[in-house]
Amino acid sequence: MGKTVLGVIGGSGVYDLPGLENARWEKVESSFGEASDELRFGTLDGLEMVFLPRHGRGHKQSPSSINYRANIDAMKRAGVTDILSVSAVGSLKQELPPGTFVIVDQFIDRTFAREKSFFGEGCVAHVSMADPVCPRLGDYAQKACLAHHIPHARGGTYLVMEGPQFSTRAESHLYRSWDCAVIGMTNMPEAKLAREAEINYASIAMVTDYDCWHDEEPDVSVTHVVEVLRQNAEKAQAMVTGVARQIGTGMREPCPMGFDSVLDYAIITPPEARDPGLIKKLDVVAGRVLNR
């Protein structure tokens, strides 16, 4: 299986990781357009790591304008086998106050203005998203949070809204009635595309606010979100470092959930009916199965 290459998608608090050696920014071309930014390569205690600023350095991309396909394709081309996604969210539960890290285990995708698949006309594929995140990465994240005394919750549903506006109060109450734990704008279709690319994926949602449902707390604002993110930066770095050190530099074991071989059973278009142009674009994302 080779060794793990850990990819991290998030903001400046995670790509400026202390202790990262041989760090360098490098542009990685994608068949699906421009990624949000260059990738930052480096090693931590010998583990190869690749960081991607989801919104670009300087936060130039809105949640709806991010080229999620190019981002995941670029990570795959960089050799990434596992992705740790770190993102800011609002809490939809009283027991998840700002400062809590939620190790997400489910999503509800309410986005509508984004390209959600590498596949399509000319090569159709259907991957399972029943279990959208890697439990092994979740275990590592939980152990890292415990070791560094980071307030956290294991499990919870992340409602992904389109944005870029925050929720109405009616929407916030609706999502609470669905038993969602947190709300954000970025982890879909990111998680779906990681699955199609056979990259293990875990989502660590950092609570910054109570959205707008809480009668006794101020409604969410950018100013408040940025302030809490600044407070969370060191904790996020500690969590990512803890995950990396648990992974180590040994030989990588197959995913216990089979996420790294999901395309074996997903592509429905027979070889003779596939569009050569699309197949060329899929050379890295799906080359393992298309080229055999």
Catalytic residues, by residue number, are 209, 211
Token couple for 75: 């990570």
How many Å apart are CA 190 and CA 203, to the nearest integer? Answer: 10
Q: Are 225 and 88 in contact (CB under 8 A)?
A: yes
Q: Is 152 exposed, middle or buried (0-12, 13-18, 19+ CB in 10 A)?
A: buried
Q: Where are the beta strands (DSSP E) in the chain?
A: 5-10, 21-26, 39-44, 47-53, 82-91, 101-103, 106-109, 152-154, 157-160, 182-184, 200-209
Distances 95 to 101, 172, 194, 207 between C-alpha atoms, Å: 12, 16, 30, 11
Handedness of CA 284, 285, 287, 288 (dihedral sign): positive
Q: Are 137 and 246 in contact (CB under 8 A)?
A: no
Q: Find the helix or strand (DSSP H, E) in which 246 lies.
A: helix 222-247
Q: 204: helix, coil or strand?
A: strand
Quickly list DSSP for 67-99: -HHHHHHHHHHTT--EEEEEEEEEE-STTS-TT
